[in-house]
Amino acid sequence: MNIHIFDHEEQLYKEAARRIIDLVQDRPKAVLGLATGSSPLGVYKELIKSYQSHHVSFEHVTTFNLDEYVGLSSDHPQSYRSFMNRELFNHLNIHLKNTFIPSGDSINIHNEPDRYNALLSNYQIDLQLLGIGTNGHIGFNEPGTPFDLLTHVVTLDSRTRTDNARFFHHLDQVPTQAITMGIQSIMNAKEIVLIATGEKKASAVKAMIRGPIDPMLPASILQNHPNVHIYLNHQSAKDL
């Protein structure tokens, strides 16, 4: 694992975005694995800046998102499709038809993992961007998820629902299920970039890096990946 610790978050996001920008400059048809939540937002701002100043083009890039809530329509403001369009895609020259996100539409949810896995099997993700949950989840692979799963439907941990309640008016509105790429799908990426900031992430970060590899701390499996870059600030790195 390559650990990068920064004094200033702005620098952290610039450096993490640099990995993506360099990749897309070298490989205009790059396949990116993307995440939602607070952690990647600073990176997305840097990607938008770089595109707007004509340093990089996303015209031929394909993206796969990690996850989506079950039961929110894609146009719900808190769906991950809405999040991605709002925070990134609408500001780039990427073609929306090349941006894939699992569908959380509950009517077809039982077929969705197979559909998404079939799509993914036509590509290899060059770089997968990740955040980490306070419980050590990656994607929505909650503690106890076997390491060898591909895309699947999960019941969200109560801690994940509480952590994400900040995006909703009430805890009751946070969906109870999600669909997520599995840990095996994540480990298939050629390169992984994980971002964690803030003291709330410190214990999960320590367990991911220093702890035993254990399904109860899903991110610990990243110790087995040959090309991982972890971007931390002093708060999230404080227990290392």
Residue 218 contacts ligand F6R per CB under 6 A = no
Catalytic residue positions?
67, 135, 137, 142
Fill in the DSSP letter of residue 141. B
**Do 125 and 227 touch, CB atoms closer than 8 A?**
no
Among 24, 36, 43, 127, binds ligand F6R (CB under 6 A): 36
Q: At 87, which amino acid appears?
A: E
Among 20, 43, 61, 66, binds ligand F6R (CB under 6 A): 66
**Do 155 and 177 touch, CB atoms closer than 8 A?**
yes
Among 33, 42, 102, 131, binds ligand F6R (CB under 6 A): 131
Residue nearest to ligand F6R (CB): 131
Using DSSP bridges, classify how beta strands 191-196 and 228-233 pair: parallel, antiparallel or unpaired: parallel
Rounded to whole angstroms, how far apart are CA atoms 88 and 230? 22
- Is the CB of 89 or the CB of 140 nearer to ligand F6R? 140
- Is the CB of 92 or the CB of 183 nearer to ligand F6R? 183
Shortest distance, CB of residue 134 to ligand F6R, whole angstroms? 8
| Per-residue b or e along 5-28, where b marks 16 or more CB atoms closer than 10 Å to that residue's CB | ebeeeeebbbbbbebbbebbeeee
Q: At 68, which amino acid appears?
A: E
Residue 128 contacts ligand F6R per CB under 6 A = no
Among 17, 23, 24, 35, binds ligand F6R (CB under 6 A): 35
Residues 143-182 that bind ligand F6R (CB under 6 A): none
Shortest distance, CB of residue 106 to ligand F6R, whole angstroms? 19
Among 14, 137, 152, 161, binds ligand F6R (CB under 6 A): 137
Shortest distance, CB of residue 135 to ligand F6R, whole angstroms? 9
Shortest distance, CB of residue 193 to ligand F6R, whole angstroms? 12
Shortest distance, CB of residue 144 to ligand F6R, whole angstroms? 15
Residue 67 contacts ligand F6R per CB under 6 A = yes
Among 42, 133, 182, 218, binds ligand F6R (CB under 6 A): 133
Match 């941006």 to its residue by tokens.
Answer: 99
For 115, residues 6+ apart whose C-beta sits below 8 A from its C-beta are: none
Rounded to whole angstroms, how far apart are CA atoms 185 and 182? 5
Rounded to whole angstroms, how far apart are CA atoms 153 and 150? 10
Q: What tokens does 85 get?
A: 């369009």
Q: What tokens does 169 get?
A: 């008016």
Among candidates 48, 42, 1, which has minimal Cα distance to 213?
1
Interface positions with ligand F6R (CB under 6 A): 35-39, 66-67, 131-133, 137-140
